[in-house]
């Protein structure tokens, strides 16, 4: 049979060849039968509670093991800790109890209880839709415990394999044996899904949103080319191509070794032009990684880590201590802190309305914070106090700012607390259209390409069905970035990028060519981006940027 190519979205640049192992099919849905009258409700309630507790304990154990492991494990640990909380949620447990009292079996009650919450998360879209998949995985583990069967997960193999699945949970990815896992191929997910982000963080070759992956069978040999976003099946008739792919993989390893040699050095083009390479940090563990990979500072400090999972905001004193501890890690270096990005994909019980029909276009970011002045003022007060106690160069920005009036409002507010550098995130197309005005009132702009892409192209970044639209290579997205960069250069306002686009070595060169002054990314991407910049001059980058604006590097699905 002739080779066949399945296309998807590649994560990273690696290439792998090996036999397929498929994730086991999900267990059947528990039947919707009434509980036998001979089985007391109290006994079923206890069974469900015990199963929930067992899953919670197992996930917490995995999180502790990950936290005590290598640097990649430490990145996974906070996600496992957050997922474990689903199994101890009191409102979910009460709903399951109510269903059992109403006559359901424990298995059916768990299924319906989790499904109800999954539907709520999925309807929110964005990041919360991704959490719906995590929630589903926890529910399946609880049901498996009730049935006395092994929990769903990665199958065991004595030999290296290419793992193929509809999608993977963070628990699955954390459990992967990197000495055996050659690559991951999924039919769902997008470039900013948990699967993609964690695969990149763990250095696993991956292709996601690969339509046709469901047809791959156990044992067949495939070539997974993340750089091309392609999976080639039945390559026996294309041995030369396979050898070339393997050679490319070896070259990639050599390039990675060279990239590691540059670690700790500044980001510079071949002609010496400096593009500061910063790190995205969302926890103390991320700060460790940023320093390990030689970040020149922090381009995005996500302050949500202090708020998520809390019923009320932390005190100013608690925030001050946490911010100061992180700032202390970067003496003399720039640290850009983003205020709480609440709403839509990050709902919080003390901030976010429960009944917004379209939360992604509702109270998000600065809009939410303006309604809750006490929260934003508490953050600004804490950041100013932390800044006074440390030697870091603190810059503070607000998320989801739409225009120059919102920018001026926030800059004035931030400076009233004594903050020296106050700027805004550029995540919606309107701020690009008003960039010349924004540049006259803000100290800086940081472009969040994840949201800018999904809002510019009207494509939910969590949906595999529109994954091919979720690319910052689209000329419309690049033109928006250029508008902002041009305005910054005209008015002397620094402009940086802190979205996933900055982690793509090829796109990083283009972004610099568009006039962006700094790039911030997941720490593990710093080596590759630093090495790629060193291969080009700034003039080369500008030439590539001009071609990218014309769409030379963007491949539309409508052309196929």
Domain boundaries, the chain: 4-24+154-258, 41-147, 268-559
pLDDT at 82: 83
pLDDT in the model for residue 469 = 81
Between the alpha carbon of residue 151 and those of residues 51, 142, 289, 553, the distances in Å are 12, 8, 32, 43
Two tokens at 208?
């996601």
> Whose CA is closest to 243, among 554, 427, 17, 38?
17
- Which range (4-13, 461-470, 518-527) has the least confidence? 461-470
Q: Any residues with CB less than 8 A from the CB of 127 and at least 6 apart, and which? A: 344, 345, 346, 462
Angle at 468 between CA 463 and CA 472, to 5 degrees: 105
Q: How far apart are CA 322 and CA 313, in angstroms?
A: 13
pLDDT at position 152 is: 74
Q: How many CB atoms lie within 10 A of CB 133?
A: 22
Could you say which DSSP state residue 13 is in? S
Mean pLDDT across the stretch 402-414? 96
Q: Which of 213-217, 246-250, 415-419 has the highest mean pLDDT?
A: 415-419
What is the pLDDT at residue 25? Answer: 72
Q: Does 526 score more than 70 pLDDT? A: yes
Q: What is residue 239's predicted lDDT score, i.e. its pLDDT?
A: 55
Read off the pLDDT band of 240 (50, 70, 90). Answer: very low
SS (H, E, C) 8-56: CEEECCCEEEEEEEECCCCCCCCCCCECCCCCCHHHHHHHHHHHHHHHH
Average pLDDT, integer, range 290-295: 96
pLDDT (0 to 100) of residue 331: 97
- 425: DSSP letter: E
Instruction: Tell whether the model's pLDDT for residue 550 goes beyond 90.
Output: yes
Q: Is the pLDDT of residue 157 over 80?
A: yes
Percent of the chain exceeding pLDDT 90 equals 52
pLDDT band at residue 410 under the 50/70/90 scheme: very high
Cα–Cα distance for residue pair 340/375, rounded to 1 Å: 9
194 is catalytic: yes
SS3 label, residue 39: coil
425 token code pair:
């995130």
Lowest pLDDT segment from 7-21, 120-134, 497-511? 120-134
The mean pLDDT of 166-170, rounded to a whole number, is 83
User: Looking at the predicted structure, is the pLDDT value of residue 540 above 60?
Assistant: yes
Q: Per-residue pLDDT tens for 309-351? A: 666 788 999 999 999 999 999 999 999 999 988 654 455 555 5
- Mean pLDDT of the chain, nearest integer: 86
Q: pLDDT band at 196, cuts 50/70/90?
A: confident
CB neighbours of residue 370 within 10 Å:
15
Q: Does 555 participate in catalysis according to the annotation?
A: no
The answer to whether residues 191 and 60 touch, using CB atoms and an 8 Å cutoff, is: no
Position 179 scores a pLDDT of 73
Measure the CA–CA gap between 412 and 484, rounded to whole angstroms. 21
pLDDT (mean) for 235-239: 62
Give mean pLDDT, residues 68-96.
Answer: 80
Angle at 49 between CA 45 and CA 51, to 5 degrees: 120
Encode burial over 25-42: b for 16+ CB neighbours within 10 A, e otherwise. Answer: eeeeebeeeebeeeeeee
When mean pLDDT is compared over 159-173, 249-263, 395-409, 465-479, the highest value belongs to 395-409
Q: Which of 223, 170, 162 is nearest to 199 (CA)?
A: 170
Q: Which helix (H) or strand (E) holds 337?
A: strand 334-338
How far the first Cα of the chain sits from its last, in Å, is 23
**Cα angle: 129, vertex 135, 139; to 5 degrees:** 150
The sign of the torsion formed by the CA atoms of 452, 458, 464, 466 equals negative
Residue 363's pLDDT band (cuts 50, 70, 90): low
Instruction: Identify the CATH number of the domain defined by range 41-147.
Output: 1.10.274.10
Q: Tell me, what's the pLDDT at 432?
A: 97
Structure tokens at 7: 């296309």
Q: Can 4-24+154-258 and 41-147 be said to share one CATH topology?
A: no
220 has a pLDDT exceeding 80: yes
Answer whether residue 434 shows pLDDT above 50: yes
Burial class (CB in 10 A: 0-12, 13-18, 19+), 169: buried
Tens digits of residue pLDDT in 34-46 = 888 888 999 999 9
Q: Is residue 437 scored above 80 in pLDDT?
A: yes
Measured between alpha carbons, how far is 96 from 113 in angstroms, rounded to an integer?
A: 5
C-alpha 285/C-alpha 276 separation (Å) is: 22
pLDDT of amino acid 244: 55
Contacts of 396 (CB under 8 A, 6+ apart): 336, 337, 339, 380, 383, 414, 419, 421, 422, 423
Average pLDDT score over residue span 103-125: 88
Percent of the chain predicted with pLDDT > 70: 88
Set 136, 274, 498, 555: catalytic member: 498
**Multiple choice CATH, 268-559, 3.20.20.60, 1.10.3720.10, 3.40.800.10, 1.20.1050.90:** 3.20.20.60
- Closest listed residue to residue 338, CA positions, set 311, 309, 312, 305: 305
DSSP secondary structure letter of residue 193: S
Choose which CATH entry (3.30.479.30, 3.50.30.10, 3.40.190.80, 3.40.50.720) describes domain 4-24+154-258: 3.50.30.10
Q: Say how many C-beta atoms besides its own lie within 10 A of residue 158's C-beta.
A: 6
Q: Which of 136, 194, 372, 474 is catalytic?
A: 194
């Amino acid at each position: 049979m002739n080779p066949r190519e399945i296309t998807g979205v590649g994560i990273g640049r690696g290439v792998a060849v090996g036999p397929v192992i498929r994730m086991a099919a999900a267990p059947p849905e528990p039947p919707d039968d009434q509980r036998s009258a001979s089985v007391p409700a109290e006994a079923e309630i206890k069974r469900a509670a015990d199963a929930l507790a067992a899953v919670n304990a197992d996930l917490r154990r995995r999180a502790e093991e990950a936290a005590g492991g290598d640097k990649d494990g430490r990145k996974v640990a906070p996600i496992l800790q957050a997922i474990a909380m689903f199994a101890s949620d009191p409102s979910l447990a009460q709903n399951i109890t109510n269903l059992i009292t109403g006559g359901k079996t424990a298995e059916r009650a768990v299924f319906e209880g989790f499904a109800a919450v999954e539907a709520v998360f999925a309807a929110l879209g964005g990041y919360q839709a991704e959490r719906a998949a995590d929630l589903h995985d926890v529910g399946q583990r609880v049901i498996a415990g009730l049935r006395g069967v092994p929990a769903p997960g990665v199958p065991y193999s004595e030999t290296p394999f290419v793992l193929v699945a509809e999608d993977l949970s963070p628990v699955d990815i954390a459990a992967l044996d990197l000495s055996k896992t050659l690559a991951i191929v999924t039919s769902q997910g997008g470039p900013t899904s948990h699967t993609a982000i964690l695969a990149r963080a763990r250095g696993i070759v991956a292709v996601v949103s690969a339509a046709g992956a469901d047809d791959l069978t156990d044992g067949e040999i495939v070539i997974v080319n993340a750089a091309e976003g392609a999976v080639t099946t039945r390559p026996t008739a294309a041995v030369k191509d396979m050898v070339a792919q393997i050679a490319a993989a070896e070259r990639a390893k050599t390039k990675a070794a060279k990239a590691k040699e540059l670690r700790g050095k500044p980001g510079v083009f071949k002609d010496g032009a400096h593009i500061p390479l910063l790190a995205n940090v969302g926890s103390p563990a991320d700060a460790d990684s940023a320093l390990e990979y030689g970040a020149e500072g922090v381009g995005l400090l996500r302050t949500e880590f202090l708020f998520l999972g809390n019923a009320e905001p932390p005190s100013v004193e608690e925030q001050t201590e946490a911010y100061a501890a992180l700032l202390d890690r970067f003496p003399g270096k720039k640290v850009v802190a983003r205020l709480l990005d609440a709403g839509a994909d990050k709902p919080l019980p003390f901030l976010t309305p429960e009944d917004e029909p379209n939360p992604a276009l509702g109270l998000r970011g600065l809009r939410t914070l303006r309604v809750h002045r006490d929260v934003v003022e508490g953050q600004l007060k804490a950041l100013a106090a932390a800044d006074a106690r440390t030697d870091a160069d603190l810059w503070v920005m607000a998320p989801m700012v739409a225009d120059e009036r919102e920018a001026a409002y926030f800059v004035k507010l931030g400076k009233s607390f004594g903050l020296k550098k106050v700027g805004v995130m550029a995540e919606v197309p309107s701020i690009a259209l008003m960039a010349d005005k924004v540049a006259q009132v803000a100290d800086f702009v940081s472009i969040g390409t994840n949201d800018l892409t999904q809002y510019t192209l009207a494509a939910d970044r969590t949906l595999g069905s529109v994954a091919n639209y979720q690319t910052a290579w689209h000329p419309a997205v690049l033109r928006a970035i250029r508008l902002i960069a041009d305005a910054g250069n005209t008015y002397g306002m620094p402009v940086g990028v802190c979205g996933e686009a900055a982690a793509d070595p090829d796109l990083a060169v283009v972004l610099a060519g568009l006039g962006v002054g700094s790039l911030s990314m997941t720490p593990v991407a710093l080596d590759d981006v630093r090495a790629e910049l060193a291969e080009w001059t700034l003039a080369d980058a500008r030439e590539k940027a001009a071609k990218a604006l014309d769409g030379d590097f963007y491949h539309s699905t409508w052309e196929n």
